[in-house]
Structure 1
Amino acid sequence: MNWELKKFEELKVKELYEILKIRNEVFVVEQQCAYQDCDGKDEKSYHLYLQDNGKIIAYLRILKKGVSYDEISIGRVLVHKNYRGKGISREMMLKAINFIDLNLNEKEIKIQAQSYLVNFYGSLGFKETSNEYLEDNIPHIDMLYKK
Protein backbone atom coordinates (compact mmCIF):
# COMPACT_ATOMS: atom_id res chain seq x y z
CA MET A 1 0.00 0.00 0.00
CA ASN A 2 1.30 3.45 -0.83
CA TRP A 3 0.23 7.02 -0.10
CA GLU A 4 0.03 9.66 -2.85
CA LEU A 5 -0.44 13.41 -2.52
CA LYS A 6 -1.04 15.29 -5.75
CA LYS A 7 -2.39 18.53 -7.10
CA PHE A 8 -5.35 18.11 -9.45
CA GLU A 9 -3.29 18.66 -12.59
CA GLU A 10 -0.84 15.95 -11.48
CA LEU A 11 -3.55 13.29 -11.30
CA LYS A 12 -3.64 10.75 -14.10
CA VAL A 13 -7.01 10.07 -15.71
CA LYS A 14 -7.18 6.61 -14.08
CA GLU A 15 -6.42 8.10 -10.64
CA LEU A 16 -9.12 10.75 -11.05
CA TYR A 17 -11.58 8.10 -12.16
CA GLU A 18 -10.78 5.94 -9.12
CA ILE A 19 -11.14 8.96 -6.78
CA LEU A 20 -14.56 9.86 -8.19
CA LYS A 21 -15.58 6.20 -8.13
CA ILE A 22 -14.81 5.69 -4.43
CA ARG A 23 -16.31 9.05 -3.45
CA ASN A 24 -19.53 7.99 -5.16
CA GLU A 25 -19.41 4.52 -3.58
CA VAL A 26 -19.11 5.96 -0.07
CA PHE A 27 -21.03 9.22 -0.14
CA VAL A 28 -23.75 8.61 -2.75
CA VAL A 29 -24.40 4.85 -2.55
CA GLU A 30 -23.36 3.81 0.98
CA GLN A 31 -24.62 6.96 2.73
CA GLN A 32 -27.59 7.24 0.36
CA CYS A 33 -26.92 10.92 -0.22
CA ALA A 34 -27.71 12.44 -3.59
CA TYR A 35 -25.47 15.48 -3.97
CA GLN A 36 -23.25 17.16 -6.56
CA ASP A 37 -19.85 15.58 -5.95
CA CYS A 38 -18.08 17.29 -8.86
CA ASP A 39 -18.37 20.76 -7.36
CA GLY A 40 -15.59 22.61 -9.16
CA LYS A 41 -13.34 22.55 -6.08
CA ASP A 42 -11.20 19.54 -6.99
CA GLU A 43 -9.16 21.65 -9.40
CA LYS A 44 -8.12 23.92 -6.51
CA SER A 45 -7.27 21.07 -4.13
CA TYR A 46 -4.57 18.63 -3.16
CA HIS A 47 -5.64 14.99 -3.22
CA LEU A 48 -4.28 12.56 -0.62
CA TYR A 49 -5.06 8.90 -1.10
CA LEU A 50 -3.94 5.40 -0.24
CA GLN A 51 -3.80 2.67 -2.84
CA ASP A 52 -3.85 -1.08 -2.37
CA ASN A 53 -3.00 -2.98 -5.56
CA GLY A 54 -4.00 -0.01 -7.71
CA LYS A 55 -7.34 0.50 -5.96
CA ILE A 56 -7.91 3.67 -3.92
CA ILE A 57 -9.00 2.63 -0.43
CA ALA A 58 -8.72 5.94 1.47
CA TYR A 59 -9.00 9.53 0.30
CA LEU A 60 -9.34 13.16 1.31
CA ARG A 61 -8.90 16.49 -0.38
CA ILE A 62 -7.17 19.58 0.97
CA LEU A 63 -8.83 22.76 -0.25
CA LYS A 64 -6.81 25.92 -0.50
CA LYS A 65 -7.76 29.03 1.47
CA GLY A 66 -10.72 30.84 -0.04
CA VAL A 67 -12.09 27.82 -1.94
CA SER A 68 -14.65 26.83 0.72
CA TYR A 69 -13.64 28.92 3.73
CA ASP A 70 -11.23 31.64 4.77
CA GLU A 71 -9.07 28.84 6.18
CA ILE A 72 -7.58 25.84 4.43
CA SER A 73 -10.00 22.95 4.75
CA ILE A 74 -10.09 19.19 4.52
CA GLY A 75 -13.04 17.41 2.96
CA ARG A 76 -14.36 14.26 1.32
CA VAL A 77 -12.63 12.16 3.98
CA LEU A 78 -13.30 8.47 3.42
CA VAL A 79 -12.01 4.95 3.93
CA HIS A 80 -13.41 2.02 1.95
CA LYS A 81 -15.68 -0.07 4.18
CA ASN A 82 -13.41 -3.15 3.95
CA TYR A 83 -10.47 -1.18 5.40
CA ARG A 84 -12.16 0.64 8.29
CA GLY A 85 -11.14 0.13 11.91
CA LYS A 86 -7.44 -0.20 11.08
CA GLY A 87 -6.27 3.33 11.87
CA ILE A 88 -6.07 4.42 8.24
CA SER A 89 -8.27 7.49 8.70
CA ARG A 90 -6.16 8.70 11.64
CA GLU A 91 -2.93 8.16 9.69
CA MET A 92 -4.40 9.96 6.68
CA MET A 93 -5.63 12.94 8.71
CA LEU A 94 -2.25 13.26 10.43
CA LYS A 95 -0.52 13.20 7.04
CA ALA A 96 -2.84 15.96 5.82
CA ILE A 97 -2.36 18.10 8.94
CA ASN A 98 1.41 17.66 8.73
CA PHE A 99 1.45 18.59 5.01
CA ILE A 100 -0.65 21.70 5.66
CA ASP A 101 1.62 22.78 8.52
CA LEU A 102 5.02 22.02 6.95
CA ASN A 103 4.43 22.54 3.23
CA LEU A 104 1.69 25.15 3.12
CA ASN A 105 2.73 26.90 6.34
CA GLU A 106 -0.87 27.15 7.56
CA LYS A 107 -1.84 26.74 11.20
CA GLU A 108 -5.66 26.64 10.95
CA ILE A 109 -7.78 23.99 9.23
CA LYS A 110 -11.56 23.99 8.98
CA ILE A 111 -13.73 20.91 8.45
CA GLN A 112 -17.41 20.05 8.25
CA ALA A 113 -17.51 16.91 10.37
CA GLN A 114 -20.33 14.43 10.28
CA SER A 115 -21.64 14.59 13.84
CA TYR A 116 -20.89 10.96 14.69
CA LEU A 117 -17.18 11.68 14.01
CA VAL A 118 -16.82 14.70 16.31
CA ASN A 119 -14.90 12.69 18.94
CA PHE A 120 -12.55 11.29 16.30
CA TYR A 121 -11.72 14.74 14.93
CA GLY A 122 -11.54 16.11 18.48
CA SER A 123 -8.83 13.53 19.23
CA LEU A 124 -6.80 15.10 16.41
CA GLY A 125 -7.09 18.59 17.89
CA PHE A 126 -10.18 19.93 16.12
CA LYS A 127 -12.64 21.99 18.22
CA GLU A 128 -16.35 22.45 17.58
CA THR A 129 -17.23 25.90 16.22
CA SER A 130 -20.93 25.51 15.37
CA ASN A 131 -24.11 23.89 16.47
CA GLU A 132 -25.23 20.75 14.68
CA TYR A 133 -26.88 21.35 11.30
CA LEU A 134 -28.01 19.26 8.35
CA GLU A 135 -25.83 19.14 5.24
CA ASP A 136 -27.33 16.95 2.51
CA ASN A 137 -29.67 15.55 5.19
CA ILE A 138 -26.74 14.35 7.36
CA PRO A 139 -25.99 15.97 10.77
CA HIS A 140 -22.73 17.95 10.70
CA ILE A 141 -20.72 20.23 12.98
CA ASP A 142 -18.10 22.75 11.87
CA MET A 143 -14.74 22.21 13.52
CA LEU A 144 -11.45 24.15 13.54
CA TYR A 145 -7.88 22.99 14.12
CA LYS A 146 -5.37 25.55 15.39
CA LYS A 147 -1.74 24.65 15.86
Structure 2
Amino acid sequence: MSWKTYQFDELTTEELYDFLKLRVDVFVVEQNCPYPELDGLDQQAIHIAYGENGKTLAYARLVPAGVKYEAPSIGRVIVHPEARNRGLARRLLHQCIDFIQTHWKAEEIQLQGQVYLQQFYESVGFQTVSDIYEEDGIPHVDMKLHSKQLQD
Protein backbone atom coordinates (compact mmCIF):
# COMPACT_ATOMS: atom_id res chain seq x y z
CA MET A 1 0.00 0.00 0.00
CA SER A 2 1.13 3.54 -0.62
CA TRP A 3 0.32 6.84 1.03
CA LYS A 4 -3.36 7.71 0.80
CA THR A 5 -5.25 10.92 1.44
CA TYR A 6 -8.92 10.95 2.41
CA GLN A 7 -11.67 13.37 3.13
CA PHE A 8 -13.86 12.17 5.99
CA ASP A 9 -16.76 11.09 3.76
CA GLU A 10 -14.36 9.00 1.62
CA LEU A 11 -13.33 6.80 4.52
CA THR A 12 -14.81 3.33 4.74
CA THR A 13 -16.01 2.22 8.15
CA GLU A 14 -13.03 -0.17 8.29
CA GLU A 15 -10.54 2.62 7.54
CA LEU A 16 -12.13 4.97 10.07
CA TYR A 17 -12.14 2.26 12.72
CA ASP A 18 -8.49 1.43 12.01
CA PHE A 19 -7.42 5.10 12.28
CA LEU A 20 -9.39 5.71 15.47
CA LYS A 21 -8.14 2.47 17.04
CA LEU A 22 -4.52 3.43 16.34
CA ARG A 23 -5.09 6.91 17.78
CA VAL A 24 -6.65 5.52 20.95
CA ASP A 25 -4.05 2.74 21.29
CA VAL A 26 -1.19 5.26 21.16
CA PHE A 27 -2.52 8.50 22.61
CA VAL A 28 -4.84 7.11 25.28
CA VAL A 29 -3.51 3.65 26.18
CA GLU A 30 0.26 3.76 25.43
CA GLN A 31 0.66 7.31 26.75
CA ASN A 32 -1.74 6.65 29.64
CA CYS A 33 -3.64 9.83 28.88
CA PRO A 34 -7.42 9.78 29.06
CA TYR A 35 -8.63 12.68 26.93
CA PRO A 36 -11.46 13.38 24.47
CA GLU A 37 -9.99 11.76 21.34
CA LEU A 38 -13.16 12.37 19.34
CA ASP A 39 -13.12 16.16 19.22
CA GLY A 40 -15.43 16.97 16.31
CA LEU A 41 -12.62 17.92 13.92
CA ASP A 42 -12.35 14.66 11.97
CA GLN A 43 -15.31 15.49 9.74
CA GLN A 44 -13.61 18.67 8.48
CA ALA A 45 -10.11 17.20 8.25
CA ILE A 46 -7.99 15.52 5.63
CA HIS A 47 -6.64 12.15 6.78
CA ILE A 48 -3.28 10.91 5.52
CA ALA A 49 -2.23 7.31 6.12
CA TYR A 50 0.28 4.70 5.12
CA GLY A 51 -0.33 1.01 5.59
CA GLU A 52 1.04 -2.39 4.78
CA ASN A 53 -0.79 -5.72 4.71
CA GLY A 54 -4.06 -4.14 5.79
CA LYS A 55 -2.58 -2.41 8.85
CA THR A 56 -2.21 1.34 9.26
CA LEU A 57 1.41 2.10 10.15
CA ALA A 58 1.45 5.91 9.94
CA TYR A 59 -1.36 8.45 10.20
CA ALA A 60 -1.96 12.18 10.58
CA ARG A 61 -4.89 14.54 10.44
CA LEU A 62 -4.82 17.90 8.62
CA VAL A 63 -7.26 20.53 9.82
CA PRO A 64 -8.00 23.43 7.44
CA ALA A 65 -7.26 27.05 8.33
CA GLY A 66 -9.89 28.73 10.46
CA VAL A 67 -11.17 25.53 12.08
CA LYS A 68 -8.73 24.99 14.98
CA TYR A 69 -6.14 27.68 14.30
CA GLU A 70 -5.87 30.55 11.84
CA ALA A 71 -3.39 28.44 9.85
CA PRO A 72 -3.91 24.87 8.69
CA SER A 73 -2.64 22.41 11.26
CA ILE A 74 -1.14 18.94 11.42
CA GLY A 75 -2.26 16.76 14.29
CA ARG A 76 -2.70 13.21 15.54
CA VAL A 77 0.71 12.34 14.09
CA ILE A 78 1.22 8.63 14.79
CA VAL A 79 3.50 5.80 13.79
CA HIS A 80 2.35 2.35 14.84
CA PRO A 81 4.63 0.91 17.57
CA GLU A 82 5.57 -2.01 15.29
CA ALA A 83 6.74 0.38 12.55
CA ARG A 84 8.81 2.89 14.53
CA ASN A 85 12.43 3.66 13.62
CA ARG A 86 11.77 3.15 9.91
CA GLY A 87 11.63 6.84 8.96
CA LEU A 88 7.85 6.82 8.59
CA ALA A 89 7.29 9.84 10.85
CA ARG A 90 9.50 12.06 8.70
CA ARG A 91 7.90 10.76 5.50
CA LEU A 92 4.46 11.31 7.04
CA LEU A 93 5.25 14.93 7.90
CA HIS A 94 6.54 15.55 4.38
CA GLN A 95 3.32 14.08 2.97
CA CYS A 96 1.32 16.45 5.22
CA ILE A 97 3.39 19.51 4.31
CA ASP A 98 3.22 18.68 0.60
CA PHE A 99 -0.57 18.31 0.76
CA ILE A 100 -1.03 21.62 2.60
CA GLN A 101 1.35 23.45 0.28
CA THR A 102 -0.16 22.01 -2.90
CA HIS A 103 -3.86 22.08 -2.05
CA TRP A 104 -4.28 24.84 0.53
CA LYS A 105 -1.44 27.21 -0.52
CA ALA A 106 -0.88 28.11 3.14
CA GLU A 107 1.39 30.90 4.38
CA GLU A 108 2.20 28.78 7.42
CA ILE A 109 1.38 25.45 9.06
CA GLN A 110 0.80 24.99 12.78
CA LEU A 111 1.05 22.01 15.07
CA GLN A 112 0.79 21.31 18.76
CA GLY A 113 3.70 19.00 19.53
CA GLN A 114 4.58 16.96 22.55
CA VAL A 115 7.80 18.36 24.01
CA TYR A 116 9.68 15.08 23.67
CA LEU A 117 9.18 15.39 19.86
CA GLN A 118 10.12 19.08 19.66
CA GLN A 119 13.59 18.45 18.19
CA PHE A 120 12.13 16.08 15.62
CA TYR A 121 9.63 18.71 14.44
CA GLU A 122 12.39 21.32 14.38
CA SER A 123 14.46 18.99 12.17
CA VAL A 124 11.63 19.17 9.61
CA GLY A 125 11.59 22.98 9.77
CA PHE A 126 9.03 23.83 12.43
CA GLN A 127 9.88 26.59 14.91
CA THR A 128 8.63 26.70 18.50
CA VAL A 129 6.30 29.68 19.05
CA SER A 130 5.14 29.11 22.64
CA ASP A 131 6.40 28.24 26.06
CA ILE A 132 5.89 24.68 27.31
CA TYR A 133 2.37 24.07 28.61
CA GLU A 134 0.40 21.07 29.84
CA GLU A 135 -2.26 19.60 27.58
CA ASP A 136 -4.08 16.61 29.03
CA GLY A 137 -1.20 16.09 31.47
CA ILE A 138 1.51 16.00 28.77
CA PRO A 139 3.97 18.86 28.11
CA HIS A 140 3.39 20.48 24.70
CA VAL A 141 4.59 23.42 22.62
CA ASP A 142 3.00 25.23 19.71
CA MET A 143 5.09 25.15 16.55
CA LYS A 144 4.84 26.76 13.11
CA LEU A 145 6.36 26.20 9.72
CA HIS A 146 6.33 29.37 7.61
CA SER A 147 5.98 29.52 3.82
CA LYS A 148 9.65 30.51 3.53
CA GLN A 149 10.61 27.08 4.93
CA LEU A 150 7.97 25.41 2.73
CA GLN A 151 9.77 26.58 -0.40
CA ASP A 152 13.25 25.45 0.78
TM range, normalised to the smaller chain? over 0.9
Match of 2:78 in 1: 78
Match of 2:87 in 1: 87
Contact 1:2 1:51 in 2 (8 A): yes
- Which residue identity does 1:119 align to in structure 2? Q
More strand per residue? 1
Match of 1:50 in 2: 50
Match of 2:8 in 1: 8
Match of 2:36 in 1: 36
Percent identical among aligned pairs is 44
State the SS of the aligned residue for 1:2.
Answer: coil
Match of 2:69 in 1: 69
More helix per residue? 2
> Runs of 4 or more off by more than 3 Å in structure 1?
none
Unpaired stretches in structure 1, ≥5 consecutive residues? none
TM-score by length of 1: 0.98
Match of 1:97 in 2: 97
1:28-80, Cα deviation, whole Å (9 max, x unpaired): 10000101111100001000011111111110000011111011000000001
- Which residue identity does 2:19 align to in structure 1? I
Match of 1:107 in 2: 107
Tell me the CA shift for residue 107 of structure 1.
Answer: 2.7
Tell me the CA shift for residue 106 of structure 1.
Answer: 1.1
Unpaired stretches in structure 2, ≥5 consecutive residues? 148-152
Distance 2:66 2:13 in 1: 26
Aligned length: 147
TM-score by length of 2: 0.94
What value does the CA root-mean-square deviation take over the aligned residues? 0.7
Match of 2:150 in 1: none
Contact 1:100 1:107 in 2 (8 A): no
